[in-house]
Amino acid sequence: MSKIAFIGLGHMGLPMARNLLKAGHDLRVYDLVQAAIDELAAEGATPARDAREAVNGAQVVITMLPASRHVEGLLLGDGGLLESIAAGSLLLECSTIAPESARKVHAAAKTRGIELLDAPVSGGTAGAAAGTLTFMVGGEAAALEKARPIFQAMGKNIFHAGPDGAGQVAKVCNNQLLAVQMIGTAESMALGVANGLDPAVLAEIMRQSSGGNWVLERYNPWPGVMPNAPASKEYDGGFMAELMAKDLGLAQETAQVSLSSTPMGALALQIYRLLLKQGKGKKDFSVVQKLFVE
């Protein structure tokens, strides 16, 4: 059992924290949203009044925040949270942020003797709830071995992607591919339905044919095809389109560093920006389906 501070109890953080509680860890939790803290406190976590109180006495600190600016804003600078985390602790930064930003936080953590891993996740809210997330880890292999039991309480596949920031590079590559698959699937679903096919029949044909992919397996964007997918719940819950747009922006920034050619990622980013302009940023990213039918 470890003393763990968990900061950021949103769509992903809350179910991840819940799995740590179930595994018997001593959890202190904090979020800007009081209702999220209250929900976990009712299940046995200790509520904290602020992030500093949450990390006091913790051996492991986990952060699950929206984007680079939130992570840097919380951890870095004068009065930043790194100053309150004890030397020798493990800091598992699980948000999806810029690789460059992750390396900045790694460098600052090292100066304070804190072992940091960048450890973004894949698997969505369903994977977070089921404890089957994939962790893509950047940092020292020895730190990963210490963190492994904690990751195992929340996930199934734990990959060491490479040195500091490598977890984030793997994550932006994965999410760029996911966005392209989602848009392609939505476009094909709309094409078939516009030409008289039943969406459920088309979905099953493509799932079992050469177009089969993760979106068709678990996350069909057409309402009603999969009762538990966000598409069948007014596109609520899941992974917000604005977060996908953020990740596609990170992929473009990462491509700029290596001068890589990423035309599909660039187009996907433009399509998600369009959705944001339409006010759909808070909806699940499968809401891209609407672009092809409305």
Active-site residue numbers?
171
Distance between CA atoms of 228 and 217, rounded to whole angstroms? 12
Q: How far is the CB of 284 from ligand NAD (least distance, A)?
A: 8
121 forms part of the interface with ligand NAD (CB under 6 A):
yes
Member of 136, 243, 275, 287 binding ligand NAD (CB under 6 A): 243
Nearest residue to the partner ligand NAD, using Cβ: 10
189 binds ligand NAD (CB under 6 A): no
Q: Of 39-47, 191-199, 238-246, 264-272, which segment contacts ligand NAD by CB under 6 A?
A: 238-246
The residue from 125, 134, 185, 254 that contacts ligand NAD (CB under 6 A) is 125
Specify the residue, 64 or 206, whose C-beta has the smaller distance to ligand NAD.
64
231 Cβ neighbours under 8 A, 6+ residues apart: 219, 220, 221, 222, 223, 224, 225, 284, 286, 287, 289
Q: How far apart are CA 235 and CA 140, in angstroms?
A: 38
Smallest distance, ligand NAD to C-beta of residue 277, A = 20
The values of phi and psi at residue 161, to 5°, are -75, -25
User: CA-CA-CA-CA torsion for 124, 125, 130, 133, nearest 10 degrees?
Assistant: 30
User: Strand pairing of 121-122 and 133-138?
Assistant: antiparallel
Structure tokens of 261?
């050619």
105 belongs to the binding site for ligand NAD (CB under 6 A)? no
237 binds ligand NAD (CB under 6 A): no
By CB under 6 A, name the one of 2, 4, 5, 12 that touches ligand NAD. 12
Smallest distance, ligand NAD to C-beta of residue 285, A: 8
* Number of Cβ within a 10 Å radius of residue 145: 10
Quick note: the x/- pattern for ligand NAD over 39-68, rule CB under 6 A, is ------------x------------xxxx-
H or E element at residue 137? strand 133-138
- Phi, psi (rounded to 5 degrees) for 23: -80, 0
Chosen residue from 4, 5, 13, 104 binding ligand NAD by CB under 6 A: 13
For residue 271, what are its two tokens?
Answer: 């399509």
Give the interface with ligand NAD as residue ranges (CB under 6 A): 7-13, 30-33, 36, 51, 64-67, 70, 74, 95-96, 121-122, 124-125, 238-239, 243
